[in-house]
Amino acid sequence: MTKEKIEETGGELTTVPNDKYRKFFDKFKEIETLDVSQWKTAHIIAYFCKRYKETYNMDYAWKFNNPSPTKCFEVWQANTLAAKLSQNPKILRDYIDWVYQTYVPRTKARFRSISFITKDETVNDYKMNVLLAGQKNLHVDRSTPLPANYADILREVANLNLSSYGELAFVSQMDPMPDNVAQAMEKLIDIGFDKEVLKRIV
C-alpha cells in the first residue's frame, strides 16, 4: 500500500502494531525446530506464550507499551527472569513448564501478565525445591573440585587442565574468549552446568 493510500484510508487494522513486532513474532515458530540451547529472548517468550495458550485456551495479550519489541514489557520481564534465575535457555524453559504444571494450578485466578513468572517467591520456590533439590556442593568456593566429567571436557575440548571451580571462574572471564574455550563452556552447559554459579564464587 502506498503512503498516499495509507493516509487516505487511515491504514488497516491489525493485531500487530508495526513491522518490527511482525518480524519479532515471526521468530516464535523457530522454537519448534531450533535446539533449546540456541534459544534467545524471543524464543523464551514464544514458549511462554505457547504454554499460556495451552493452559487458558486463548492467546496472551501483549501490552505493546513500546514501539520497539526489544524494549517492550514482555522482553523486559524475560530479561528480569534470566537475571533472577539463569541465562541458560534450558533452565528457563523447564522453569516455564514448572510454572504452568505446578504453580498455575494452585491459583484460581487467570494470570494476565507475564510478570507472574518473575515474582521472587515463585522463582525462589523453583530454585530451592526443584533446580537445586538434591544437588551437592551448593555452596561451592574457589577450592571446590570440579566434577570429573567437567574436567574431562575442558581437557579434551580446550586443552585445559583445570581442577577447581576457582580456576574455571578465572578462565570464564577471558575476554576475548578463545573459540576452543567457548566450545568447552557450551558443552558444560549442555550437560547441565549453570555458569551462574561462577558469579557466586568469591
Does residue 78 lie within any of the structural domains? yes
Q: What's the pLDDT tens digit per position in 150-171?
A: 889 999 999 999 988 889 989 9
Q: Residue 147 region, left (φ>0) first, then alpha (ψ -120 to 50), else beta?
A: beta
User: How many domains does the chain contain in total?
Assistant: 2
94 and 192 part of one domain: no
Q: What's the pLDDT tens digit per position in 24-44?
A: 999 999 999 999 999 999 999
Separation CA 101–CA 98 (nearest Å): 5
Average pLDDT, the chain: 85
> What one-character-per-residue DSSP string does the chain give?
--HHHHHHHT----SSSSHHHHHHHHGGGGGGTS-GGG--HHHHHHHHHHHHHHHHSS-------SSSGGGSHHHHHHHHHHHHT-S-HHHHHHHHHHIIIIIHHH-SSPP-SGGGGG-HHHHHHHIIIIISTT-S-TT--TTSBPPHHHHHHHHHHH-----BHHHHHHHHT-SSPPHHHHHHHHHHHHTT--THHHHT--
pLDDT bracket for residue 3 (50, 70, 90): very low
Separation CA 85–CA 109 (nearest Å): 24
Does residue 82 lie within any of the structural domains? yes
Asked if pLDDT for residue 1 goes beyond 50, the answer is: no
Q: Which pLDDT does position 192 carry in this prediction?
A: 74
Q: Which residues contact residue 62 at a Cβ distance below 8 angstroms, ignoring those fewer than 6 apart?
A: 72, 74
126 and 155 part of one domain: no
Q: Which of 80, 98, 131 is the endpoint of a domain?
A: 131
The answer, as to whether pTM is greater than 0.85, is no
Q: 156 lies in which domain range?
A: 148-199
121 and 157 part of one domain: no
Q: Which of 72, 98, 131 is the endpoint of a domain?
A: 131
126 and 60 part of one domain: yes
pLDDT bracket for residue 188 (50, 70, 90): confident
104 and 194 part of one domain: no
Does residue 34 lie within any of the structural domains? yes
Do you find a cis peptide bond into 176, omega within 30 degrees of 0?
Answer: yes
